[in-house]
Structure 1
Amino acid sequence: MSTTTTLSLGDPLEPARKATAEMLQTRDHTFSLPQPFYNDERLFQIDMQEIFQKEWLIAGMTCEIPAKGNYLTLQIGDNPIIVIRGAEGKIHAFHNVCRHRGSRLCVSDKGKVAKLVCPYHQWTYELDGRLLFAGTEMGADFDMNQYGLKPVNCKSAGGYIFVSLADEPPAIDDFLRTLEHYMEPYDMENTKVAVSTTLMEKANWKLVIENNRECYHCNGSHPELLNTLLEWDDVTDPRADQAFKDHVAASAAAWDAEKIPYAHASFGLRNRIVRMPLLKGTVSMTMDGKPGSKKLMGRIQNPDLGSMRILHLPHSWNHCMGDHLINFTVWPISAQETMVTTKWLVHKDAVEGVDYDIARLREVWDATNDQDRRLAEENQRGINSTAYQPGPYSKTYEFGVINFLDWYSERMLNNLGVEEAAPQLRQVGE
C-alpha cells in the first residue's frame, strides 16, 4: 500500500491576489484599468487561474469533429485539453494528460483515432476516458477503474463546443438554449471550416478584447470592414439616425418572413446575440459586399441576413451571415502576448474554387485582424510607459469596453471570493 505526501508551498500569488482585489474594488469603472492588469506576469497568472480556468470557453465547432473518434486539441494556459466525439455522437472533453506518467496523449491539433493511446508507454483509453489497457507490468492488483482520464466540463449548442476547467462552472444553460434557437437556420452540423488562421499579437488579452468591444477606432483604421459593417447593434443607440432605423425595420420584416431570429438577446454582460443589417446593398463581409460563398448555409434562402453578432466573454466574438460564419477566439499566452484564432465556416457541400474562393473569403478580416493587431500592440507599448495612468472611456462610443471591464471585474472578484455589484450598461463592438 502506497502513501502520498503533499507538500504545501503556500500560494506565492497571495499578495498579488489581494492587490488585484483592492485595485478592482477602488477603480473608476469609466476609466481603463491600472497598469499591472495589462503587463504584470503575476496578474496574468491570476487572470489564467480565475478567468480562463473557471469561465466557459469556446473550444471549437462541432463540425470540426463530425464522426466518432474525431478529436481536436487546445491549450488553456498550462493545460492541454482534448475534445473528442465518442459513441452515439456524444462530445467529451478531457485533460490531455496520461494518468501514468503525465505525457500528452494527443500531440496533433486534430485527428481521428479508434482509441486514445499514449505515445509514451501505450496506456490505452476508451473515447469516454475509461482506461482499457495499462499492461501486465502494473501488477495483478492494479485497478484500472481508478485511472481514467480526468474529465473537463463540456457542453455544446448551436454548433459551438464550450469547455470549463472549473470544478463548478458558472450557469450557462439559458444562453445555450437561446444560442441553439438562433443558430437553427444555419444547420451547423452540416457546415465545415473552410479556412482558419492564427495571429500572434504582442499585447495583453484584455487589450485585444477592449479593441474589439468598440468601433470608435473603425473610421480611422478599418476601410475594408466599413465597406459592409454598420457599427451600431441597436436602434436605441443615441448615434443611430432615422435612415438606420428604417433600414433595420425593413430588414427585420424580411427576416420575419423567413422565420430568421434576430431580436437582441442578452445574458448579463457575458453573452449577447443580435442580428443587424449590413450596409444597404451588401449581404456579406467581403470586399465588394457580395456573397463569399454561392451555397448558402442551412435552410437559409435569402443571402441578405445582415450579420448576427454573438459575444461570448471572456474571449470570443462571431459574425453569422447567410453565406458564411466567422468565429474569433482569443487565447492569452503571456502578460503581453495573445493568440487570436479566426475560422471561416461554410456549408459542408460548398466546393472550394467553385462556390467560394478562400482568398476572397478571408480578405476583409485578414486586413481587419492585422489592423487590430497593430492597434493593440501600440496600445501595449504606450501602457508599458511610466507615463501611463488609467484614462477615461467615452460613455457613448466605448460603453462596450466599459461593459467588458465591468464583467471582468465582477467575475474576478467573485472568483477571488470578493463581491462587487457591477453596473449594467449597453453592449457594442465589431
Structure 2
Amino acid sequence: MDSLSSLYLDAPLAGARDATIEMLAQRTPKFSLPQPFYNDARLFALDMQEIFEKEWLFAAMTCEIPAKGNYVTLEVGDNSIILVRGAAGEVHGFHNVCRHRGSRLCLKEKGKVAKLVCPYHQWTYELDGRLLFAGSDMGEDFDLAAYGLKPIHVQVGGGMIYVSLAEAPTPIDDFMAGLDEYLAPYQMDDIQVAAESSIIEEANWKLVIENNRECYHCNGAHPELLNSLQEFDDSDDPRATPAYRALVARKQADWEAAGVPWRLTHLGRRNRLTRTPLLAGTVSMTLDGAPACQKLMGRLPNADMGSLRILHLPNSWNHFMGDHAVVFRVLPLGPQKTLVTTKWLVHKDAVAGVDYDPDALRKVWDATNDQDRRLAEENQRGVNSKGYQPGPYSETYEFGVIDFVDWYSERMLANLGESAPALQLVQS
C-alpha cells in the first residue's frame, strides 16, 4: 500500500475530506489514483456529494418522453429524480419527493400521467411542479404555492437530456450548442429507443470510466467490436497509420459535401465530439459491419457516416452511426458497484423484425459490455489488494484516461474547496 493511501485510512471520519484533498494534491500525475479512490466508502460518499450531486449528468433521451405527461425516473445515489414533458413541450426536472412527508411520487422507471399524484396521501402536482391539491385537512390558510415540487437544473442538447443537482451548476451552454450542431442531421425528434440493457458491474465507477477511455485493451478483449471499430479516432494520434489518415481525409470530404459535422471538438477535458470512420468496408457496429437498420437516421444521405463519438464526463459516452446509435449512461451504486445502461436508437418509423433485428442490433455491444464488465471487476479485485499501488498510464494509449483522472481531480478539488466552510460549520 502506498503512503497516500495509508494517510487516508488513518484519518478519522471527520478528516476524510482533508485527507482526500491531500491525496489529490500529492498524487503523481499520469498515474492511477491511490487505493481509497476506488474502494473506500467514505471517499465514495464524497464522490457522490462532490461529483454526482454537483456536475452535469447525462440522464435520458427526449424521445423517451415524447408527449405531454410522459415521464422517466432515475436514481442518483439517494436522490430520486423525475423528468417529465410539460404542456408546452418543455422538459421539467424535479426531485421525486412529495412536499408533504417526502414519499416518492413516481414509482416506475417510465410512464405517462395527467398530473403527478403522490400515492401516499394524493397530494397532486401540475406537470410544471405546482401543487394543485393537498386536501381540505390542511386548513383554509394553507398556501399551495409554497409547496411546489423542488426543481433540478435541466439542459437539453441534440435530443439528449442532462441534469444537475447543484444549486448553481457550472455552465454547459457550449456543449449543448455542440450537441445541437453535431446531432442536427439525425433529426433527434424522429428517433426511438429500439433496445435497452442495464448491467451492474462490481467495480468502482471510475474504473468503469477509465476502462472506456482507452482501447489499449481492445485487441485482447473485444473481437466483436474490432470487426468495425478503429482503435483511434484522431488522425493526429501518434499510433494512426498512413492508411487511416488517408481514409479520414476521404471520408471528411464526403461528410463536408453532405453538410454533416465531423471536426474534433474539445470542450475542456469534460466533453469531446468527433466523427471518425469505421474500418474500411464497414458502415455500422455490427458483426459483419453492415447496417443493422434499413431506415437511416434523420437526413443522413447514406449509412457510411462512420461513428460520431460524444464524450461527457463523468457518466456518458456515445456512438452515432448512419443507421443507428448507441448511448451509454453510468450511475454509481456503491464504492464497488456501478450501473451501466445502454440504449440502442433507430429511426422512429423503423419496425422491429422488418427494418431491423433487435438481437443483431445489440449483439456487438452486449458482448463488449460483458467483456468490459469482467475487465473492470478483475481490475477492482486487484486494486483491493494490499499489493496495489498507483501505476503509470501510457501517454500514447491511455491519454484519455489521463484526461479523465485529471478532470476528476480538478473537479473534486474545486468542489471540496467550495464545500469547506459548510463542512467546518457542521464539524464545529
Shorter chain as denominator, the TM-score bin is over 0.9
CA apart distance, 1:418:
7.2
Q: Distance in 1 between matches of 2:103 and 2:165?
A: 19
Contact 1:29 1:405 in 2 (8 A): no
Q: Does residue 86 of structure 1 match 2:86?
A: yes
CA distance in 2, matches of 1:157, 1:397: 30
Q: Cα distance 1:245–1:228, how it changes in 2: closer, same or farther (>3 A)?
A: same
Q: 5 Å matches for 1:321-400? A: 321-400=321-400
**In structure 1, C-alpha distance between the alignment counterparts of 2:14 and 2:263, rounded to whole Å:** 44
Query: Residues 150 and 218 of structure 1: is their aligned pair in 2 closer, same or farther, counting only changes over 3 Å?
Result: same
Aligned counterparts of 1:327 and 1:132: Cα–Cα separation in 2: 37
Separation in structure 2 between the aligned mates of residue 185 and residue 127 of structure 1, nearest angstrom: 31
Residue number in structure 1 paired with 2:411:
411
Distance 2:63 2:304 in 1: 24
> One-letter code of the match for 2:254?
A
**Stretches of 4+ aligned residues off by more than 4 angstroms:** none
1:418 and 1:183 mapped to 2: Cα distance? 35
Q: Distance in 2 between the 1:241 and 1:345 partners?
A: 31
Letter in 2 for 1:134: A
Partner of 1:219: 219
Q: Output aligned runs, 1:8-407, within 5 Å.
A: 14-407=14-407
What SS does the aligned partner of 1:87 have? coil
TM-score, normalising length: structure 1? 0.94
Question: For residue 424 of structure 1, what is the aligned residue in structure 2?
Answer: none
What SS does the aligned partner of 2:44 have?
A: helix
**Deviation of 1:175 (Å):** 1.0
Q: How far apart, CA to CA, are the structure 1 residues paired with 2:144 and 2:418? A: 41
**Greater helix share, 1 or 2?**
2
Q: TM-score, normalised by structure 2?
A: 0.94
Provide Cα deviations, 1:260-316, integer angstroms capped at 9, x if missing partner: 000001100000000000000000000000001000000012100000000000010
Distance in 1 between the 2:182 and 2:76 partners?
28
* Partner of residue 5, structure 2: none
CA distance in 2, matches of 1:418, 1:16: 16
The separation in 2 between residues aligned to 1:243 and 1:25, in whole angstroms, is 42
**C-alpha deviation, 1:13, in angstroms:** 5.2
In the TM superposition, what is the alpha-carbon distance from 1:14 to its structure 2 partner?
Answer: 3.7
Secondary structure of the structure 2 residue equivalent to 1:248 = helix
**Aligned-pair CA distance for 1:88:** 1.0
Contact kept, 8 Å, 1:21 with 1:418, in 2: the verdict is no
In structure 1, C-alpha distance between the alignment counterparts of 2:14 and 2:416, rounded to whole Å: 10
Structure 1: give runs of 5+ residues left out of the alignment. 1-11, 420-430
AA aligned to 2:252 is A
Equivalenced residues, count: 408
1:35-67 per-position Cα deviation (integer Å, ceiling 9, x unaligned) = 000000000000000000000011100000000
Deviation (angstroms), 1:87: 1.4
1:225-275 deviations in whole A, cap 9, x for unaligned? Answer: 000000211111111111100000011111111110000011000000000
Using the TM superposition, give the Cα deviation of residue 104 of structure 1 relative to its aligned residue in structure 2, in angstroms. Answer: 0.3
Q: Distance in 2 between matches of 1:364 and 1:102?
A: 42
Which consecutive unaligned segments of at least 5 residues does structure 2 have? Answer: 1-11, 420-428
The one-letter code sitting in structure 1 at the alignment partner of 2:204 is N
- Secondary structure class of the residue paired with 1:30: coil
CA–CA separation in structure 2 for the residues paired with 1:226 and 1:398: 18
> Is the Cα–Cα contact under 8 Å of residues 315 and 331 in structure 1 kept in the other structure?
yes
1:359-402 Cα offsets, whole Å, 9 max, x none, are: 00010000000000000000000000010000111111111100
